[in-house]
Amino acid sequence: MTTDSKWGKETLRQMLLIRNFEETADKLTLRGKVPGGMHNSSGQEAVAVGVMSALDPKDVIATTHRSHHHTIAKGMPVNIVMAELFTKATGCSGGRGASMHLADVENGHFGGNGIVGAGVGIAMGAALGIKQMGHKKVAVGFVGDGGVNTGRTWEAVNMAVIYKLPLIIIVDNNQYAVETFVERVTGGNDIAKRGAGFGLPSFTIDGQDVEEVHKHTSEARNRALAGEGPTFINALTYRYYGHNVGEKGQYRTQEEIADWRSHRDPIDRFSAKLISEGALTQADYEAMIKSVAKEIEEAVDFAEKSPLPDVSTILDGVDSGLLGARK
């Protein structure tokens, strides 16, 4: 199927923006700029952009420890994301969260998370809120292949099914839980089948194909809005870097990484398609790469120049104080 040129260019640019952000942030992390490190999502751009391009900006997401790509695709400006990684006052969480706790609840980003599997539950709760309040929106819960082996994920899936909640569960399946290959620890070795066991539409899809991710998410969203309840999508993808910055590990071969990079890279695949269809010229593509690099450079500059949070605020916002807690 031919891709709409405007949508294609926006989608491609988003993926390029994420890739450049991650590779830049990775280097800065090694230089000590990102306290606590970060989880690089390079290679997984199509899952984030494919899902988010199918959502309304006001739809809700809740995600995982590896969430820069989801956050940027959700529409958060990269300078705000970078500033949060630097734990600066101008970051989306005021420097209180860093890489793992990116959020913009007001705009439907209910947060990255330090706890494996927690995002699906929070998104399920948001979907319940949407239903209770009669709104026409959906919530998306991201989980990794590691999180599909924690109990709370399936409690949330089951609850979404019985209450017919407008929820989409996306397994951002990069195949390694830290350094453990998914097949070694996943009984039955078919994650979508587990989902199907809870009685909801459940698919395994090519997470390196941004259009396929978009299509499945759109269909899931339509079902959710029609009151048909949740959908479970297991999107196969791959991360190029270690679990955390600077980790190399012996758990996979360099050949495996090179194979995914050279044969299944979501950006290469999609840009080649757009160029072959005439939707994008090589010159356009190069200009796009340059403009993305400039945007990230400016984001780093913004983050560098931003002030640190005021230490005297460490007790602020623990609670509202309305119950008297600040007495």
Partner 1 sequence: MEEVFVPAVGMAMDNVVLLEWLKNPGDQVNAGDVIAIIETDKTTMDLTCETSGTLGAHRYAINSEVPAGQTIAVVLAPGESE
Partner 2 sequence: MSTTTPTTQQNPTYSEAFQSGVREEMKLNPNIFILGTDLVERGGHFAQVKGIAQEFGVDRVKDSPISEAAMVAAGLGSAMYGCHPIIDLNFIDFSLGAMDEIINQAAKIRFMFNRPVPLVIRATSGVALGGAHHCNSLESLFAHTAGLSVAVPSRAYDVKGLIKTALRSPDPVIFLMHKKLSGVRGEIGDENTFIPFGSAHRVKSGKDAAIISYGYTIVSAQKAAQTLAEQGIDVEIIDLRTLYPLDTDTINATVQKFGRVVVADEAPMFGSITAEIAATASEVNFRHLKGPIVRVGAARAPLSANPQMSEAAIPSANDLVEAVKKVMSY
Write out the residues near partner 2 by the rule CB under 8 A.
Answer: 60, 62, 93-94, 96-97, 101, 103, 105-106, 110-111, 113-115, 118, 120-130, 132-133, 139, 151-152, 155-156, 158-159, 162-163, 317-320, 322-325, 327
DSSP line for 280-315: S-HHHHHHHHHHHHHHHHHHHHHHHHSPPPPGGGTT
Identity at 228, one-letter amino acid code: E
DSSP string, 156-170: HHHHHHHTT--EEEE
Q: How far is the CB of 29 from partner 1 (least distance, A)?
A: 7
Structure tokens at 229: 């309840």
* Gap between the Cα atoms of 111 and 89, Å rounded: 17
Shorter beta-carbon distance to partner 2: residue 78 or 139: 139
Q: How distant is the alpha carbon of residue 128 from its chain centre?
A: 21
Stretch that binds partner 1, among 84-92, 158-166, 216-224, 243-251 (CB under 8 A): 243-251
Residue 31 touches which member of partner 2, partner 1, none, C-beta under 5-8 Å by kind: partner 1
Tell how strand 167-173 and strand 180-181 pair up: unpaired
Whether the CB-CB separation of 238 and 174 falls below 8 Å is answered with yes
**Selected binder of partner 1 within 246, 307, 317, 321 (CB under 8 A):** 246
> Residue 244 binds which one of partner 2, partner 1, none, with CB within 5 to 8 A depending on kind?
partner 1
Which residue from 104, 196, 244, 284 is in contact with partner 1, where contact means CB under 8 A?
A: 244
CB 62 within 8 A of CB 110: yes
Using the rule CB under 8 A, which residue among 33, 101, 152, 164 binds partner 1?
33
Q: Which of partner 1, partner 2, none lies near 36, with the C-beta cut-off 5 to 8 A by kind?
A: partner 1
- The answer to whether 126 and 61 are in contact (CB under 8 A) is no
Select the span of 61-69, 135-143, 238-246, 310-318 touching partner 1 (CB under 8 A): 238-246
Q: What whole-number distance in Å separates Cα of residue 112 and Cα of residue 93? A: 11
Q: How far apart are CA 171 and CA 146, in angstroms?
A: 9
- 32 binds partner 1 per the rule CB under 8 A: yes
Least distance CB 90 / partner 2 (angstroms): 14
- By the criterion CB under 8 A, which residues form the site for partner 1? 29-34, 36-37, 244-247
